[in-house]
Amino acid sequence: MARYLDVHPVDPQPRAVAQTVQVLRDGGLVAYPTDSGYALGALMGNQEAKDRIRDIRRLDDKHHYTLVCRDFAQLGQLVHVDNAVFRAVKASTPGPYTFILPATHEVPRRLLHAKKRTVGVRIPEHPVVRALLAELGEPLLSSTLILPGESEPLTDGWDVKERLDHVVDVVIDSGECGDSPTTVVDFTSDPAGEVARQGEGAWPAR
């Protein structure tokens, strides 16, 4: 049964944040709110949790997992960013965007797209996520919580708890969150960025 934590949306309680981070460090899987719906999160090196995410969402090997970062410096350790991409990404973060970019050697190969050797990265704006990342001190392996057969992410904490009670370890509820997934921008073949999934953010970001 998942632990249910009621967390303030603007000023997250340090105790709740610390409890969640401890579950992550112990190998757990967390459902947490973002500025673009709920997401599933685990430590970057946690293969078992990655498999759990795959099973919950019924993903194939073409899925781009996302590494959620605290800031641009952390993001820059995980992906290769040239000057043009740097300006575009910098201008739109933090915000509801996921960027597909070539991964550096810091990213485990099992997290990369099977053929392209790319990975998704994002810097969210939600205060709860930012508090988690600050306490954790490393990126969070993540995937938008869109269940099989559905097109939009879950947005209500108690609904997440009821539907995923026996497949995640913690559900964080901080009230209303965004109701659209991130906009996915792929820089693999177009230096200006190609929208692979239209979501909350307009592209190019203004």
pLDDT digits (tens, 9 = 90+) for 105-117: 999 888 887 788 8
Residue 55 domain-assigned (yes or no): yes
Locate 136 and state its tokens.
């954790």
Look up the domain containing 156 and give its range.
3-197
Separation between Cα atoms, residue 39 and residue 92, nearest integer Å: 20
Residue 132 domain-assigned (yes or no): yes
Looking at residue 137, which CATH number applies to its domain?
3.90.870.10
* Opening angle at CA 82, ends 76 and 85, nearest 5: 85
Which whole number is the average pLDDT over 12-41? 96
Spatial contact of 105 and 182, defined as CB atoms under 8 Å apart:
no
Which whole number is the average pLDDT over 152-177? 94
Note the pLDDT of residue 14. 97
Locate 28 and state its tokens.
């757990």
Strand order in 140-144's β-sheet? Answer: 3-6, 170-173, 30-34, 37-43, 140-144, 66-68, 118-122, 97-102, 183-186, 194-197
Residue 204 domain-assigned (yes or no): no
Is the pTM above the cut of 0.85? yes
Residue 90 domain-assigned (yes or no): yes
Which whole number is the average pLDDT over 141-147? 93
Number of domains composing the chain: 1
Is 17's pLDDT higher than 90?
A: yes
**More confident position, 133 or 85:** 133
Q: Which residues contact 119 (CB under 8 A, 6 or more apart)?
A: 64, 65, 66, 67, 78, 79, 100, 101, 103, 107, 111, 112, 113
Residue 187 domain-assigned (yes or no): yes
Residue 202 domain-assigned (yes or no): no
Residue 138 domain-assigned (yes or no): yes
Residue 68 domain-assigned (yes or no): yes
